A and B are shown apart, each in its own frame.
Chain A
Amino acid sequence: MTNNVLRIEDLRMYLGGAEMPVRAVDGINLKINEGETLALLGESGCGKSMTALSLMRLLPSSGRVKQGRVLYMGQDLLTLAEMDMRRIRGSGISMIFQEPMTSLNAVLTVGEQIRESLLTHQGVKGAGARKQSVDLLRSVGIPSPERRIDEYPHQLSGGMKQRVMIAIALANEPELLIADEPTTAVDVTIQAQVLALIRRLQKERGMAVLLITHDLGVVSEVADRVAVMYAGQIIEQAGRESFFGDPKHPYSGKLFESLPALNKRDQPLYVIKGFVPSLRTDFKGCRFASRCDYVMPVCREKTPAMINVDGGQVACYLYSPDHAPEPVRLVESVEPVSGRKMGSEEELLDVTGLKVYFPIKAGVFKRTVGHVYAVDGVDINIPTGRTLALVGESGSGKTTAGKGILQLIAPTGGRVRFQGEDLTAVSASSLRHRRTEFQIIFQDPFASMNPRMLVRDIIAEGLRAQHIGGPDARRRRVVELLEMVGLQEDSADRYPHEFSGGQRQRICIARALAVRPKLIVCDEPTSALDVSVQAQILNLLRNLQDKLGLSYLFITHNMSVVAYLAHEVAVMYLGRIVEQGPVETVLTQPSHPYTKALLSAVPTIETGAQHSAIRLEGDMPSPSEPPKGCYFHPRCPEAITVCRERYPGRASLNSSHSASCHLLSGGD
């Protein structure tokens, strides 16, 4: 077995002081073979990034490797002199990071940052280095690299920056590329581009890739082998096929079940109970035991060892011949529990021609010289008790549309009729009173609550502002709301920082529910959460809808969430809606080329052949200068002449499904 590029043996890495250290990496064993892609999969805080930083020896100052070996080409990296380690970084092992925005030096040009790497390891400079850098940029698919090489990072889009990061990492033809969540910060169409690039480069160069991710879809797209990490340990390793076909560890199995999808619409999502234990704990036994449905007494006593099963390995007593009660199959097909209640057809919200423009000011007197057309004529309507999903990539204007509807941003034009009354026309004071009827939930559970207020005051804020009830009534209502969102009564007297992300999101939901709204705008409420927590929140939102008859405007970029939760879906591109219709129709038979591309860019976790995707080239244009004609035509694989000239009208495909595309309206 000499074809290992890297072998990690019993690596332990602690953060913080000697007493109560955070055991971020607690005894992991891994090997990466030549030319293979190993995905290290885990939820946030499980120690996967720390593993990568330990083997690069780039740990933050509070971290230290307690024990273990990291063998690269037979050398133990952990005992190398810093000088020798430097020679390996960037040339033997390269790394790319999650945030392309901040990971590049803003005051050096792209070329300087690549050449620096060439100079350090190959001693190339001058014209040779420049040529090599241009070639590198070209090989990672950056158009007109001769020009781009002299630009600064801020002049590039997010996807381009990540490509530059990859070019830097590949400059010295490393044996191993570590990619730490390389696509988490970019949009799904860009993610598809970047993943395809990594896959192509890996094939061409025969290098090994250690891909760190939390996204099962990404794993399924690119990995050859998967290692699942949980609370600082690796609990399962397997080939891609066998992992996706038959996950062994109970945790892996539950992860799959908690993923939302179209075919799970009729049932609540599976939820892993409890939460990830603190890594400060001095563990005894299996770390997943407290959350596991198959827990046995032995699980709480001794940490399970890795057991070979079906060509993979799993750390679970279920597979140990001494303990296992009987063979288990973890992915069970769940019977549909109850059909979803359909909402009534009573109209609640009717938005026509909503426009939100932000002026661009310039010149001596700051005159308006142009506009950012953030929302440029949006028509949607939501009946009582229904969910409309507004999907689109970042910059498509979906959040602005949501805030424009709630009058948190004053719309530039259009009408927002809520129960028949135009909100853009009512007076400020009557708007303030009507605010009880429509609420909002935000994406970031850490920024959405005032850290200086008690949960009780946070939840009761709307009641106070709207003078609803006296102190006693409010107190009772807070208790009632906490119960409704599944939190303990004593939560009321605590501060937000004492809660986890999922719990905070529950509090935010309670705050919104306090004033008994009819409509809630959910602005990416689960995108900052881990998959297992996301399932809890989605279940909660669905239950509340069934119980209280709420309508949701669900803003998201996550197609599987849409598939699970929404009744209708509207796809936004550059401030306009390009396709709209019932969720089943749009997701299974998309009509607009953009919708098709968007859906095909979403990584799927189906086993079997990797699906062929429509890859969109380039980035979304700036909303301040939308292209002439159809906004999508510069990236559209099916564009025809007329697309460059006129914006297409809306073509009705049937009574509820419509799309704006010349191909559908016959090019008129």
Chain B
Amino acid sequence: MFTLFWTDALIFLLLIMVALFTWYARRKEHLRSPWRRVGRSRAAMSTMVILLAYVAIGLLDSVHFRPTLDRDGEAKSLVYSNEAISAFDWLASDLMGRAEKTYSAPFATHLYSKETVQLPDGTQKRMYPKLEYGGAHLAGPGEKAGDIIAGSLRGGVKGLLVWIAAVAVFCTVWGRRHGRSPGRAVALITSNQTEFRWRATLITLGVLFVLMWISTELSAKYHVFGTDKVGEDVFYQTLKSIRTGLMIGTLTTLVMLPFALILGIMAGYLGGWIDDVIQYLYTTLNSIPGVLLIAAAILMLQVYLNNNSEEFASVAERADLRLLFLCLILGITSWTGLCRYLRAESLKLREIDYVEAARSLGVGQPTIMFRHLLPNVMHIVLITVVLDFSGLVLAEAILSYVQIGVDPTMNSWGNMINSARLEMAREPIVWWSLLAAFVFMFVLVLSANLFSDTVRDAFDPRLRGVE
């Protein structure tokens, strides 16, 4: 049975909006040409592949359903589990289920700390106990290195094969659209003679496929990133955290956009007391230091949730509401910057000749704002949204550290770092959770930054220069 969390609903709404916009932009030259410029950038195309991979995992993790429970005897009536799981959980159910007792290092076969174990013969011994799942199939410790290499090779080859198939399909489709034979298409793409940087795109895709299949292959038998304090697989946690990061990065913008757009344009175009009120509104909100406003709001939310916990069916639902609320409050704190830009731009556009011409034709104010101002400030919106994304992903980690981020039960890079940080004092140090979270976050943020740089260059009329 499908369940729809609030954030799921919003993310799909966002997806629909993006799809509608794409459909709309296809026919508008002024919207298409900047995107074409983005497509001509190697960095943008490669990072887009990576971003899409993240998005795919995040979306898979956003389709929630409650699985049926097997009950002996009562085959007729379907009974659903209380806890909803996502499509991603279902795919990675192996990873989810294979919990160890506590910490273990990446690819370890034994626990990280010594324990007293009852041996079959009845004696007790302090030793590193063997892991329940990680490397359990190995006969002896000597086989591990070989097994890992063999597994990697196997995965690598599978990934390559899938990639070759994908490239073949792509070249055929591309060739057909451009009236070229598949062979010619391959030649054009490899010699980089296409308008868009398909070669870089496909190479990135290849690297991604190989890595994916290697990790799938290995994670079936090992904990590739180790396990955490309660023995949960860190690789699984890291992947689950993607959804949280993406949600914060995108939903925040989604909730703030309408306010910033409407108020910013109104303030700039209408002026007068409306401008004064809107300026007062955002100066006031802006004057409260962001972290403190978030802290205050989240603390109050906690109080509310504590007092009304019976209203929530599950922990996940509660955590989801908190995530949504966090996006909302982050949106409120970051709303002011965009609003101010839009106001300033509208103020400039108000004086521009074509707006004056519209006024002299007797066009009404709402129409002027909608037809003349809105399309001409959209590039600012797009640039801000894309540039803000990476900052928000980074902010999530910090907020979770201050304990005003997402719910502690929710998987997020911030929570991973936060809990691992407490183990810093251990000797030797537990580093894998930290590193896994940092690396995944870094790849996402770096890709987003490189991508957004290209988008900004393509859309900012000031940077466009001679063409």
Contacts and interface: CB of A to CB of B under 8 A. Distances in A.
The answer on direct contact between A and B (beta carbons under 8 Å) is yes
Interface of A: 15-16, 22, 62, 403, 406, 408, 432-433, 435-436, 438-440, 442-444, 447-453, 461-462, 464-466, 495, 497, 508, 511-512, 515
B118 interface: no
B372 A450 contact: yes
Contacts of A465: 358, 361-364, 367
Interface string B197-213: 00000000000000000
Contact of B376 (A438, A452, A466, A495): A452
10 contacts: A62-B466, A436-B361, A443-B353, A447-B353, A461-B358, A461-B363, A462-B361, A465-B362, A465-B363, A515-B361
Nearest to A466: B362
A452 B375 contact: yes
A462 B352 CA distance: 17
Given A16-B466, A435-B362, A450-B372, A442 B357 contact: yes
B29 interface: yes
B376 A440 contact: no
Nearest to A494: B29
Nearest to A521: B360
Contacts of B115: none
Given A450-B376, A452-B30, A466 B354 contact: no
A409 to B, nearest CB: 10
B466 A15 contact: yes
Contacts of B360: 406, 408, 435, 438-440
A389 B356 CA distance: 21
B371 interface: yes
A440 B372 contact: no
Given A450-B371, A462-B361, A462-B363, 20 more contacts: A16-B466, A22-B466, A406-B360, A408-B356, A433-B362, A435-B360, A435-B361, A438-B360, A440-B357, A442-B353, A442-B356, A444-B353, A447-B354, A452-B30, A452-B376, A464-B363, A465-B361, A465-B363, A495-B30, A511-B357
B359 interface: yes
A447 B353 CA distance: 6
Contacts of B361: 435-436, 439, 461-462, 465-466, 511, 515
A31 B30 CA distance: 46
Contacts, number: 74
A250 B60 CA distance: 71
B248 to A, nearest CB: 32
Contacts of B352: 447
Nearest to B31: A452
Of B356, B360, B362, B465, the most chain A CB neighbours within 10 A belong to B360
Contacts of B372: 450
B309 to A, nearest CB: 50
A436 B362 contact: yes
A452 B357 CA distance: 15
3 smallest beta-carbon distances between A and B, as pairs: A462-B361, A435-B362, A448-B353
A167 to B, nearest CB: 32
B362 to A, nearest CB: 4
Nearest to A444: B353
B362 A440 contact: no
A436 B359 CA distance: 11
B376 A451 contact: yes
Contacts of A443: 353
A374 to B, nearest CB: 15
A466 B362 CA distance: 7
Nearest to B355: A450
Nearest to A434: B362
Contacts of B353: 442-444, 447-448
Interface in B346-382: 352-354, 356-364, 367, 371-372, 375-376
B325 to A, nearest CB: 36
Contacts of A512: 357
A657 B362 CA distance: 36
Contacts of A495: 29-30
A406 B356 CA distance: 11
Nearest to B465: A62
Contacts of A511: 357, 361
B465 to A, nearest CB: 8
A667 B420 CA distance: 94
Contacts of A508: 357
A440 B354 CA distance: 11
Contacts of A403: 356
A579 B146 CA distance: 100
Contacts of B28: 452
A452 B376 CA distance: 7
A440 B375 contact: no
B214 to A, nearest CB: 41
A469 to B, nearest CB: 14
Contacts of A436: 361-362
Contacts of A442: 353, 356-357
Contacts of B358: 461, 465
Most-contacted residue by chain B among A444, A448, A452, A508 (CB, 10 A): A452
B236 to A, nearest CB: 47
A466 B357 CA distance: 14
Contacts of B367: 465
A483 to B, nearest CB: 21
Contact of A408 (B354, B359, B371): B359
B466 A449 contact: no
Contacts of B30: 451-452, 495, 497
A16 B466 CA distance: 8
A453 B371 contact: yes
Most buried by B among A448, A461, A495, A497: A461
Contacts of A408: 356, 359-360
Contacts of B357: 440, 442, 448-449, 461, 508, 511-512
B347 to A, nearest CB: 15
Contact of A450 (B29, B364, B375, B466): B375
Nearest to B376: A452
Q: Which of A450, A511, A515 has the most CB of B within 10 A?
A: A450
A22 B467 CA distance: 10
Nearest to B28: A452
A465 B371 CA distance: 12
A443 B356 CA distance: 12
B370 to A, nearest CB: 12
Nearest to A15: B466
A496 to B, nearest CB: 9
Interface in B182-238: none
A560 B28 CA distance: 42
A28 B328 CA distance: 64
A71 B362 CA distance: 60
Contacts of B359: 408
Contacts of B363: 461-462, 464-465
Contacts of B376: 450-452
A78 B190 CA distance: 41
Contacts of A464: 363
Q: Which of B28, B361, B363 has the most CB of A within 10 A?
A: B361
Interface string B238-263: 00000000000000000000000000
Interface string B164-198: 00000000000000000000000000000000000
